[in-house]
Amino acid sequence: MDPFLTIPFVIQRVKKETSDTVTLEISRPDDRVKTHSPAGSAFSFLPGQFNMLYVLGIGEIPVSISGDPNHPEKLFHTVRKVGAVSIALSLMEKGDRIGIRGPFGNPWPVNKAQGMDLLLMAGGIGLAPIRPVLYQVFPERDRYNRIGLLYGTRAPEDILYESEIKQWRSKFDLEVLVTVDRAAGDWKGNTGVVTTLISKVSFDPDRTLVMICGPEVMMRFSCLELQKKGVKPENIFVSMERNMKCSVGFCGHCQFGPWFVCKDGPIFSYDQVKDWIGKREI
Ligand SMILES: Cc1cc2nc3c(=O)[nH]c(=O)nc-3n(C[C@H](O)[C@H](O)[C@H](O)COP(=O)(O)OP(=O)(O)OC[C@H]3O[C@@H](n4cnc5c(N)ncnc54)[C@H](O)[C@@H]3O)c2cc1C
Ligand code: FES
């Protein structure tokens, strides 16, 4: 498939997650579904990959796929409005069309975590690219040892996927800890940055694989803290963000140290990026 080919998709549902974030459920237009085999309507991807979403007349941005890789017929993207394209996406309504190229990028090393403890850490919108990992591991739960999810947001009202988090919390084989920077209202949970949760979750540092997505500073401090606890840098993975244009390693917009985030990432081991992560202008 030509990586520059933008395919039209239709918005099926818009779910408001928080004051500045929506989840778009998107599918190929019916005309394509009817004229192609059922497999032709699916959109296969691996957890951690992203698409380029194009809004006519405004522009194109990279956004992680936040849905279930076992159900590729339904494509989900969770978008936080920060500028022109993400605001346009957040204003979409059922029936609107957008263009999609992808999927791009490398996936989280989910299979590498088999037989190990798996620790997932997310900050803010960073839960979006982590959610497909949970969808992948739930049906094959016995292949992993302990699984923990540590999630931090600025305030209680910024928590994404709230009802799903409640369901995840009720699972006896998944440890979910949530913290907020600023407690407000009747919040009775943890307060403080997400790294403070690391000492509250059980894992065997020698046999733990960690996946982290969030602001760069949060990822850097999480990596440092995990290393202090004994987790090997080659078992810690982060998802990096840079501005993108081509998304296939041609234009150089997403350069990050010696890498292009679109082609070599977005997932990197801490071992690979420890000299670059959290540094300005790299
Ligand atoms: C691999 C990858 C996956 C991503 N996944 C998601 C996702 O799942 N959901 C999502 O909402 N976003 C995601 N992003 C970030 C998203 O691509 C940017 O928010 C988007 O490009 C901003 O474009 P814009 O036109 O809306 O804003 P712009 O006009 O480009 O930017 C407006 C303002 O926001 C700032 N800004 C730009 N990008 C970011 C950012 N990432 N974080 C904070 N401020 C920013 C700019 O510096 C500027 O001040 C991802 C980025 C990458 C590289
Ligand atoms: S976006 Fe062009 S090289 Fe990565």
Burial of 229-255, coded b for 16+ CB within 10 Å and e otherwise, reads: eebbeebbbbbbbbebebbeeeeeebe
Q: Do residue 164 and residue 69 come from a single domain?
A: no
Q: Is the pLDDT of residue 193 over 90?
A: yes
Write the pLDDT tens digit of every residue in 138-178.
999 999 999 999 999 999 999 999 999 999 999 989 999 99
Is residue 40 over pLDDT 60?
Answer: no
From CA 93, how far away is CA 257, in angstroms rounded?
39
Q: Of 56, 87, 104, which closes a domain?
A: 104
pTM for the full predicted model: 0.94
Ligand 1: residue whose CA is nearest its atom 52: 241
Residue 39: pLDDT above 60? no
Tokens 């918005």, located at residue = 11
* Residue 279 domain flag: no
Read off the CATH number of the domain in which 33 is found: 2.40.30.10
Range of the domain at 188: 111-273
Tell me if 278 is assigned to some domain: no
59 and 74 in a single domain? The answer is yes
- In this structure, the answer to whether residues 163 and 254 fall within a common structural domain is yes
CB 244 less than 6 A from any atom of ligand 1: yes
The answer as to whether 158 is a domain residue is yes
242 lines ligand 1 (CB under 6 A): yes
Cα(243) to centroid(ligand 2), Å: 8
Q: Is 271 a residue whose pLDDT tops 80? A: yes
Integer Cα distance of 51 and 62 in angstroms: 6
Q: Which ligand is nearest to the CA of 256?
A: 2
Within this chain, do residues 27 and 83 fall inside the same structural domain, yes or no? yes
SS3 177: strand
CA of 37 to the centre of ligand 1 (A): 35
Beta bridge partners of 29: none
Residues 207 and 69 in one domain: no
Which ligand ends up closest to the CA of 260? 2
Q: Tell me the CA distances in angstroms from 120 to 16, 123, 159, one per residue in order.
A: 24, 10, 16
Number of domains making up the chain: 2
Q: Does one domain contain both 115 and 99?
A: no
